[in-house]
Amino acid sequence: MSASVIDLLATEARFGANNYAPIGVVLSRGEGVWVWDTEGNRYLDCLSAYSAVSQGHCHPKILAAMVEQAHRLTLTSRAFHNDQLALFYEEIAALTGSHKVLPMNSGAEAVESAIKSVRKWGYEVKGVPDGEAEIIVSADNFHGRTLGVVGFSTDAETRGHFGPFAPGFRIIPFGDAAALEAAITQNTVAFLVEPIQGEAGVIIPPVGYFTKVRELCTAHNVMLVLDEIQTGLGRTGKLLAEQHEGIEADVTLLGKALSGGFYPVSAVLSNNDVLGTLRPGQHGSTFGGNPLACAVARAAMRVLVEEGMIENAAAQGARFLEGLKDIRANTIREVRGRGLMLAVELHPEAGRARRYCEALQGKGILAKDTHEHTIRIAPPLVITSDQVDWALEQFATVLTQDFS
């Protein structure tokens, strides 16, 4: 590492809240699947900013839309209309088959907004006594970092010393429909769940789970809220991960790739009267639905479809998964994934996943460890077959080493 890089790391350490432990690489440029560090080394990005850069780094068409809009109008607040919002609504509704849209900024804000909306729906439409609404969530969930959201996390690190937390949440095991049935009461307004648990290590529920979940939610008039902030917009090889299960959520949450990584844009989508309960003054955000965000999101959705990224995610994801399964290494406990949302779980005896990620960095691949023993792999959806094959060679080399 050069002196200037060491300076940057020291300055970060001195001033920054120490709430991250990044891999020791300082990036300064990106294009498509590639990123470069300050010393000119090139890496294949196998994290894509947790799936926010699905369209590839600095996609030229999203960039052009952003620059063009930034020259005209960036922010009006929702006190006035802007000429991008209606078009954003129309296009995201058409893409996802939704009837109502609530634009926000970060993913966690979309989750918070959904919680507020389903509670209001519960009181005003379902007839739950005021203050009694219950929301069911899954163990090992990840829905963001706000206080409301971390209160129903089951991860000690995420919750520790941040309480007291808001009541009204019940936690059940992920992938267990019988547990959902047992947890539903007259006061249950929603089941909030990820189609595939990303942060937990790409945990895919049993076949048929979501069919049963959909049936139970419908039977008990419980809103099914799918957090597709990570799985949505093509990551799993379909536009929405719910399509793998042949179901439709009542409320869908999008974020991350909704802006292609240019700007925080999230949205709550609903196909019923949940969002219809909100009245002027009851919820909002200064930046939510601003013209710059809308223009960026419109371009991000357009290139995803026009450039066949969703189909490519399905094809390259299958290739990547097969390739990983073909690697014969004693370190590997399980390989799993759907589309380009993949994970390699190591045997506990193989040592920490972090060591393997550092070794991958040496081979020109940036990937992220999660939960000690899992390496997650989520490259931009524009990755080509040749790039997948090259990445597989690097994975094979690193995974056959022993860092225990």
Ligand X SMILES: *Cc1c(COP(=O)(O)O)cnc(C)c1O
Place of tokens 């219809």: 276
**Phi and psi angles of residue 90, each rounded to the nearest 5 degrees, phi first:** -60, -45
Residue that the structure tokens 């939960």 belong to: 371
Output the smallest distance, CB 96 to ligand X, in A: 16
Residue 103 as a binder of ligand X (CB under 6 A): the answer is: no
Cβ atoms 101, 271 nearer than 8 A: no
- In the complex with ligand X, the residue whose CB is nearer, 37 or 227, is 227
State yes or no: is 256 an active-site residue: yes
Among 150, 180, 190, 229, binds ligand X (CB under 6 A): 229
373 binding ligand X? (CB under 6 A): no
Smallest distance, ligand X to C-beta of residue 106, A:
4
- Shortest Cβ distance from residue 357 to ligand X (Å)? 19
Applying CB under 6 A, which of residues 56, 107, 288, 291 lies at the interface with ligand X? 107
Q: φ, ψ for residue 115 (rounded to 5)? A: -60, -45
The two structure tokens encoding residue 199: 């942060």
Compute the distance between CA of residue 284 and CA of residue 111 in angstroms, rounded to an integer: 13
Going by C-beta distance under 8 Å and a sequence separation of 6 or more, which residues neighbour residue 396? 327, 329
Closer Cβ to ligand X, 128 or 175, answer by number: 175
The two three-digit tokens of residue 384, written as one number:
């080509």
Q: Considering the candidates 37, 45, 227, 250, report the single residue annotated as catalytic.
A: 227
Q: How far apart are CA 182 and CA 252, in angstroms?
A: 24
Is 227 annotated as catalytic?
yes
**Binding to ligand X in span 143-172, by CB under 6 A:** 143-144
Residue 276's nearest CA partner among 265, 286, 285, 268 is: 268
**Nearest C-alpha neighbor of 43 from the set 368, 399, 316, 371:** 368
Residue 227 as a binder of ligand X (CB under 6 A): the answer is yes
Instruction: Between 30 and 255, name the residue whose CB sits nearer to ligand X.
Output: 255
Q: Give the orientation angle of helix 385-399 with respect to helix 353-362, to 10 degrees.
A: 120
Q: Nearer Cβ to ligand X, position 301 or 398? A: 301
CA distances from 47 to 359, 369, 399 (A): 15, 10, 18
Stretches 41-49, 139-147, 202-210, 392-400: which one binds ligand X (CB under 6 A)? Answer: 139-147
Q: Which helix (H) or strand (E) holds 365?
A: strand 365-366
* Catalytic-labelled residue, pool 210, 256, 287, 368: 256
Binding residues for ligand X, rule CB under 6 A, total 15
Residue 230 interacts with ligand X (CB under 6 A): yes or no: yes
Q: How far is the CB of 7 from ligand X (least distance, A)?
A: 29
According to the binding rule CB under 6 A, does residue 255 interact with ligand X?
A: yes
Least distance CB 144 / ligand X (angstroms): 4
To ligand X, the closest distance from the beta carbon of 157 in angstroms equals 16
Element (H, E) at 75: none
CA 170 remoteness from chain centre: 22
| Residue nearest ligand X, CB atom distance | 107
Q: Which of 88, 142, 152, 169 is catalytic?
A: 142
Site for ligand X in 37-66 (CB under 6 A): 50
* Closest CB to ligand X among residues 53, 332: 53
Q: Which residues contact 151 (CB under 8 A, 6 or more apart)?
A: 159, 162, 163, 165, 166, 169
Binding residues vs ligand X (CB under 6 A): 50, 106-108, 111, 142-144, 194, 198, 227, 229-230, 255-256
* Catalytic center residues: 142, 227, 256
